[in-house]
Structure 1
Amino acid sequence: MIEILAWLVIVPLAASLLYLGAELLLGLFPLDTASGPLSPPPRILLLVPAHDEAAGVGATVMALRTVVPAADILVIADNCRDDTAAAARAAGARVAERDDPTRRGKGYAMAFGRDQVAADPPDVVIIVDADCRLSAGSAERLAAQAIARDRPIQAAYLMTANGDASPLVAVSNFAVLIKNVVRARGLVRLGGGGLLFGTGMAFPWPLFRTLPLATSDAVEDLGLGLWLARQGIAVDLDERSQVTSPAAALASSRAQRSRWEHGFLLTASRQGLPLLAGGIAAASRHRAALGAHLLVPPLALLMLLALTGLAVAGAAGAASGHWLPFLILAAAFTFAVTLLLVAWWRHARRDLALAALLRIPLYMMWKIPIYIGFFTRRQTGWNRTRRPGEED
């Protein structure tokens, strides 16, 4: 009985660790995403959903105008209680105001924005969150690839922090880099397509007008990527295009992280196995890889579960003398952790010092209430994270 319990514990954990390791291994090196400019250049719409962003939306609009001067910028002031609309207009953006408290969520805001331009549509729509910045040339690259490949293109999405950010914020930013760049590369190589990150997403208009945007899904980007996969449409990653967002203090970001991680866990529990099984049955490498990706828990949760599993398997081995489950899980854990360290060395050692890296256990402990909250007080609404400088 003890041996059976040990196997039940280690098999799913070892499978998740091995798949994580495979994504990390295949994601250590950049993708080949060469693309040239289009002639004539496409008409680009930068669509900016904004909820109570008066303090920063003006700076966002001006920054976007600087790097993409020819683009049309449309800000959707969605259920705002402040001067978001006025601030966006003063910065030079077109603004559409939406007031519908019964249907709240970024998906509804994007659908509303689509309706505003349907009569005279652009060639490409790029979604940019109200606190984000696009690097120079990114919009043009994303637009050119979206048109040339006739599919969604996702920019690399990273968090930035100032010099006095806490070590735990640096650890959190490293986790985002692992998810949005390293693992994203690996997923593309494994399955031929990736997922969407909510900002820095480019869509050719003929596809954008068909998307099921108007939902209250707390992780609308994840749901949209999975919907596209079921239609046989892969999302490409262009890591040379980059969108960044300033990292908030951990205390201010707990609700936002809860929303995303709760939404991911709920989506994974409902769609992970069916997507994996359906992909295998249909010989769809894309859907099978996405299903397997969903079945890998968020990084901190996976490490917590793996350490717990090692303790259980170790206790079972000591009681029964049957050490094979423990050894298999230990090998899978070592494989994944080694590749995480290699990814840190290649991509993050300049921004995340070794002393800060050693604080990862504290970061994992900080996230435990988020995972407990999945069962006790699940976060499902579109909530706004307090920006840097708003924490006081």
Structure 2
Amino acid sequence: MEAVYYSLLLLSSLLLIPVTVIFIQVLLAVVYKKESTKYSYTIDADYTACILIPAHDEEVGLTRTIRSVKPYLSKNHYILVVADNCSDNTSSIAIENLVETIERTDATLKGKCYALEYGFQYLKDKNPDVVVVIDADCELTTEGLDSLVTLCAKEQRPVQCLDLMLAKADASVKTKISAFAWLLKNHIRPLGSSVLKMPCQLMGTGMAIPWSLAQKLNFANGSIVEDLTLGLDCAQLGKPPIFYPFPTVTSYFSNNSEVGITQKSRWEHGHLQVIMTVLPKMLIKSIKLKDIKSIFMIVDAAIPPLALLSMVLALLTMINIMLALHGYLLLGVLSSITVSMFVTSIHLSWYFFGRNTISLKELCVVPKYILGKMPLYLRFLTNKQLSWIKTKRD
């Protein structure tokens, strides 16, 4: 029994780490929410920037994406579309919108990471100061592109702007919960980290990369979560990403449940694979170098998807409470602290940031939503998704 007790004590202590990180991030984001103007940056229009749009069969939404970007371009900004392995009219639509377009065809190497590599290789002759990646299913919805470019060029570090994935007006409660989880992961947590001057993860779209750093990166890493891997690679090179909540890039969750499952499988299976195979080695290296920002970024990346974290926390709490009733009080105390911080984090996130995304009544469906995701995590053990699959568009 003693072995079981100490094993549960260790597991409970380890689980306290990600929950504490989330709690601190949320608390700081709430405290500094009203001071977001402090992130404003003096604009220098002399920096050249390429807005790189990787596009695979995006004829439906590409025009909307290009037109959302054009009003915010400064005199030294231009758009480059990489029509990657397209079987539709993506390339011709890009040309019709009067933007520079290149085509890539490779039946073997498929995925966004290879399209990015192709685009950056093409840009070698142009040498822009900054490259801003915006996905072809996203829209630039607020001002701030020029300040994003300026910050990236001056700091010579990657800069991630606010990337939000929204639920449509007629979305299901499950989709709204996904949108709330996205808000917590992509807005609230990195905002809290930025208060501590700590880095954030790269999110794949709305990310600005200085040209000097881009030439040291391997974009064709073959990862299905290329954004997460890319950000960690930047940190290992001593250039951890900066979170800058201007401008805002938005896209929408699909109302097709089958598409949503495929999308979440790619994101979450890829994330878990990185946690298990990549992060331990990076953490050891960063600890040896005493690189605090890199260590923080790795710990932040090691936080599992919210639904999985909730499942583990609920199961462990039930076990610990039962044992606490038989005299193992420390287990009960640890679980009580962890659950309290976790629930408080969710409530504060919803109250200060998420009320326009989901109602309190709908938020109460979260336990059912979490149980519904159990097959997704079981598939990680039996049939994990390791290949890139394009998300179908509505």
Instruction: Give your verdict on TM over 0.5.
Output: yes
Q: Contact (CA 8 Å) 2:270, 2:386: kept in 1 or not? A: yes
Among 255, 262, 269, which residue is 2:262 paired with? 255
- RMSD between aligned residues: 1.9
Matched residue SS, 2:199: coil
Specify the alignment match of 1:21 in structure 2: 23
Displacement of 1:337 after TM fit?
Answer: 1.3
Q: Do the aligned partners of 1:248 and 1:385 also contact (CA within 8 Å) in 2?
A: no
Structure 1 position 68, deviation (Å) = 2.4
Aligned mates of 2:386, 2:105 — CA distance in 1: 20
Aligned AA for 2:180?
A: F
Measured after TM superposition, the shift of residue 98 of structure 1 is: 0.7
Q: Does 1:242 align with 2:251?
A: no
Shift of the alpha carbon at 1:166?
Answer: 1.5
Match of 2:50 among 16, 21, 45: 45
Q: Which moved more, 1:377-386 or 1:166-175?
A: 377-386
| Residues 163 and 124 of structure 1: CA distance in aligned 2, closer, same or farther (over 3 Å) | same
d(CA) in 2 for partners of 1:194, 1:156: 11
1:205 aligns with 2:207: no
* 1:298 aligned onto 2:305: yes
| Count, aligned residues | 386
Q: Distance in 2 between matches of 1:69 and 1:19?
A: 38
> What do residues 150-200 of structure 1 show as CA deviations (whole Å, max 9, x unaligned)?
111100110123321222211111111100111112333456211100000
1:114-133 alignment runs, 5 A limit: 114-133=120-139
Whether the 8 Å contact between 2:74 and 2:146 is mirrored in structure 1 is no
Change (3 A) 1:7 1:194: same
TM-score between both structures, scaled by the size of structure 2: 0.92
Are 2:340 and 1:334 aligned?
yes
Label 1:313 to 1:384 Cα distance change in 2 as closer, same or farther (>3 A). same
C-alpha displacement at 1:290, in angstroms? 1.7
Summarize the Cα distance change of 1:298–1:63 in structure 2 as closer, same or farther, 3 Å threshold: same
Q: Does structure 2 conserve the Cα–Cα contact (< 8 Å) formed by 1:190 and 1:285?
A: no
The 8 Å contact of residues 262 and 374 in structure 1, kept in 2 or not, is answered as yes
Equivalent position amino acid for 1:142 in 2 = L
Q: Which runs of 4+ in 1 moved over 6 A?
A: none
What residue identity is the alignment partner of 2:270?
A: G
Which residue number in structure 2 is paired with residue 147 of structure 1? 153
Query: Residues 22 and 281 from structure 1, CA distance in 2 versus in 1: closer, same or farther, beyond 3 angstroms?
Result: farther
- Describe the SS at the equivalent of 2:269: helix
| Residues 316 and 382 of structure 1, relative CA distance in 2, 3 Å threshold | same
Task: Pick the aligned partner of 1:321 from 320, 324, 327.
Answer: 327
8 A contact 1:276–1:290 mirrored in 2: no
1:296 and 1:69 mapped to 2: Cα distance?
A: 38
CA distance in 2, matches of 1:339, 1:369: 26
Q: Which moved more, 1:5-14 or 1:347-356?
A: 5-14
- For the residues of structure 1 that align with 2:259 and 2:330, how far apart are their CA atoms? 43
Residues 14 and 204 of structure 1, relative CA distance in 2, 3 Å threshold: closer
Q: Specify the code of the residue in structure 2 equivalent to 1:372.
A: L
Q: Is the 8 A contact 1:187 1:290 kept in 2?
A: no
Q: Aligned equivalents of 1:350 and 1:99: distance in 2?
A: 42
**What is the alpha-carbon distance in structure 1 between the residues aligned to residue 143 and residue 54 of structure 2?**
22
Distance 1:21 1:64, change over 3 A: same
TM-score, reference length from structure 1: 0.93
CA pair 6-205 structure 1, distance change in 2 beyond 3 A? closer
Q: Which runs of 5+ in 1 are unaligned?
A: none
Q: Distance in 2 between matches of 1:68 and 1:368?
A: 44
For residues 117 and 5 of structure 1, the distance between their equivalents in structure 2, rounded to whole angstroms, comes to 53
Query: What is the CA distance between 1:364 and its match in structure 2?
Result: 1.2
| Secondary structure of 1:126's aligned partner | strand
CA–CA separation in structure 2 for the residues paired with 1:45 and 1:90: 19
In the TM superposition, what is the alpha-carbon distance from 1:69 to its structure 2 partner?
6.5
What does residue range 155-174 of structure 1 map to in structure 2 within 5 Å?
Answer: 155-174=161-180
**Counterpart of 2:222 in 1: which secondary structure?**
coil
Q: How many Å separate the matches in 1 of 2:336 and 2:385?
A: 33
Check whether the contact 2:12–2:335 (CA below 8 A) recurs between aligned residues.
yes
Per-residue Cα deviation, 1:357-389 (whole angstroms, up to 9, x for no partner): 1121122123222211211221122222222xx
State percent identity of aligned pairs: 31
Q: Distance in 2 between matches of 1:153 and 1:16?
A: 24
Cα distance between partner residues in 1 of 2:185 and 2:299: 15
